[in-house]
Amino acid sequence: MSKLCSLKEAIQNNVHDGDLLYAAGFTHLIPFAAAHEIIRQGIKDLTVARATPDLIYDMLTAAGCVKKIIFSYMGNPGVGSLRIMRKAIEEKQVEWEEYSHYGMISRLQAGATGLPFIPMNPTAAPSLEKANPNIKRLVDPYTQKEVIVVPPLLPDVAIVHVQRADIHGNAQIWGIVGEQKEAAFASKRVIVTAEEIVDETVIRSDPNRTVIPSFVVSAVCHVPFAAHPSYTQGYYDRDNPFYLGWDEVSKTDESIKAWLDEWVYGVADRETYWQKLGDETHERLHVKDNFSAPINYGDY
Amino acid sequence: MSKLCSLKEAIQNNVHDGDLLYAAGFTHLIPFAAAHEIIRQGIKDLTVARATPDLIYDMLTAAGCVKKIIFSYMGNPGVGSLRIMRKAIEEKQVEWEEYSHYGMISRLQAGATGLPFIPMNPTAAPSLEKANPNIKRLVDPYTQKEVIVVPPLLPDVAIVHVQRADIHGNAQIWGIVGEQKEAAFASKRVIVTAEEIVDETVIRSDPNRTVIPSFVVSAVCHVPFAAHPSYTQGYYDRDNPFYLGWDEVSKTDESIKAWLDEWVYGVADRETYWQKLGDETHERLHVKDNFSAPINYGDY
Amino acid sequence: MEYSNSELLTVNAARLLRDEDVVFVGVGLPNLACNLAMHTHAPNLVMIYEAGVIGARPSRLPLSIGDPTLVSGATAVCSMYDIFSFYLQRGNVDVGFLGGAQIDRFGNINATVIGDYENPKTRLPGSGGSMEIAGWANRCYIITPHQKRRFPEKVDFITSAGFLNGQGERQTSGARGGGPQAVVTHLCIMTPDETGELTLTALHPGVTVEEVQQNTGWLLKLAPKITVTEQPTSEELRILREELDPDGIYLK
Amino acid sequence: MEYSNSELLTVNAARLLRDEDVVFVGVGLPNLACNLAMHTHAPNLVMIYEAGVIGARPSRLPLSIGDPTLVSGATAVCSMYDIFSFYLQRGNVDVGFLGGAQIDRFGNINATVIGDYENPKTRLPGSGGSMEIAGWANRCYIITPHQKRRFPEKVDFITSAGFLNGQGERQTSGARGGGPQAVVTHLCIMTPDETGELTLTALHPGVTVEEVQQNTGWLLKLAPKITVTEQPTSEELRILREELDPDGIYLK
> Looking at residue D65, what is its pLDDT?
84
Q: Do C76 and A210 touch (CB under 8 A)?
A: yes
In order, the DSSP letters of B58-79 are HHHHHTT-EEEEEES--EETTT
Nearest CA in chain C to A217: C92
Q: Do A289 and B295 touch (CB under 8 A)?
A: no
What pLDDT, in 10s, does the model give residues D142-184?
A: 999 999 999 999 999 999 999 999 989 999 999 999 999 999 9
> In Å, how far is D85's CA from the nearest CA of chain B?
5
Chain-centroid distance of CA A171 in Å reads 15
What residues of chain C, 231 to 250, have a C-beta less than 8 Å from chain B? none
In order, the DSSP letters of chain D are ----HHHHHHHHHHHT--TT-EEE--SSHHHHHHHHHHHTT-TT-EEEETTTEES---SS--SSTT-GGGTTT-SEE--HHHIIIIIIITT---EEEE--SEE-TT--EE-SEEE-SSSEEEE----TTHHHHHHHSSEEEEE----GGG--SS-SS-SB-SSTTSTTHHHHHT--S--EEEEE-SSEEEEE-TTS-EEEEEE-TT--HHHHHHTSSS--EEEEEEEEPPPPPHHHHHIIIIII-TT-TTT-
All residues of chain B having their beta carbon less than 8 Å from the beta carbon of residue C84 are 101-102, 105
Residue C84 has pLDDT above 80, yes or no: yes
Q: Which of D54, D72, D85 shows the shortest C-beta gap to B213?
A: D54
> Looking at residue C149, what is its pLDDT?
96
> Looking at residue C252, what is its pLDDT?
73
- At residue D251 the predicted structure's pLDDT band, cuts being 50, 70 and 90, is confident
> Looking at residue D22, what is its pLDDT?
97
Residue B51 has pLDDT above 90, yes or no: yes
Q: What is the pTM of this model?
A: 0.97
Q: Do A102 and D85 touch (CB under 8 A)?
A: yes
What pLDDT, in 10s, does the model give residues D69-116?
A: 999 999 999 999 999 999 999 999 999 999 989 999 999 999 999 999
Q: Any chain B CB within 8 A of the CB of A298?
A: yes
Q: Where are the domains of chain D?
A: 5-244
> In Å, how far is B69's CA from the nearest CA of chain A?
21
Amino acid symbol at B204: R
What residues of chain A, 85 to 104, have a C-beta less than 8 Å from chain D? 86, 89-90, 98-103
- Express as a percent the part of chain B with pLDDT over 70: 100
All residues of chain D having their beta carbon less than 8 Å from the beta carbon of residue B112 are 85-86, 90
- At residue B58 the predicted structure's pLDDT band, cuts being 50, 70 and 90, is very high
- At residue D210 the predicted structure's pLDDT band, cuts being 50, 70 and 90, is very high
Lowest mean pLDDT segment, chosen from A236-250, B174-188, C24-38, D109-123: C24-38
- Chains in contact with C via at least 3 Cβ–Cβ pairs below 8 Å: A, B
What pLDDT, in 10s, does the model give residues D34-48?
A: 999 999 999 999 999
Write the CATH number of the domain with boundaries A7-113+155-285.
3.40.1080.10
Tell whether the torsion through CA atoms of A163, A165, A169 and A173 is positive or negative. negative
Q: Any chain B CB within 8 A of the CB of C212?
A: no
- At residue C250 the predicted structure's pLDDT band, cuts being 50, 70 and 90, is confident
Q: Which of D2, D7, D50, D242 is catalytic?
A: D50
Q: Where are the domains of chain A?
A: 7-113+155-285
Catalytically annotated residues of C: 50
What pLDDT, in 10s, does the model give residues B143-189?
A: 999 999 999 999 999 999 999 999 999 999 999 999 999 999 999 99
Residue A164 has pLDDT above 80, yes or no: yes
pLDDT, average across residues C199-209: 98
Residue D252 has pLDDT above 80, yes or no: no
What pLDDT, in 10s, does the model give residues A55-108?
A: 999 999 999 999 999 999 999 988 889 999 999 999 999 999 999 999 999 999
Q: Any chain B CB within 8 A of the CB of D174?
A: no
Cβ–Cβ under 8 Å, residues B108 and B136: no
Residue D191 has pLDDT above 90, yes or no: yes
What pLDDT, in 10s, does the model give residues B240-257?
A: 999 999 999 999 999 999
Residue D27 has pLDDT above 80, yes or no: no
**Does residue C35 sit in helix, strand or coil?**
helix
> Looking at residue C65, what is its pLDDT?
84
Q: Which of A73, A176, A243 shows the shortest C-beta gap to D126?
A: A73
Beta bridge mates, B146: B139
Percent helix, percent strand, percent coil in chain B, to nearest 5? 35, 25, 40
> Looking at residue A221, what is its pLDDT?
98
What pLDDT, in 10s, does the model give residues A167-209?
A: 999 999 999 999 999 999 999 999 999 999 999 999 999 999 9
> Looking at residue A39, what is its pLDDT?
98
Give the right CATH number for C5-244 from 3.90.78.10, 3.40.1080.10, 1.10.3720.10, 3.30.300.30: 3.40.1080.10
Residue D199 has pLDDT above 90, yes or no: yes
Give the separation between CA B119 and CA B100, rounded to whole angstroms: 14
> Looking at residue C55, what is its pLDDT?
95
> Looking at residue C63, what is its pLDDT?
81
- At residue C147 the predicted structure's pLDDT band, cuts being 50, 70 and 90, is very high
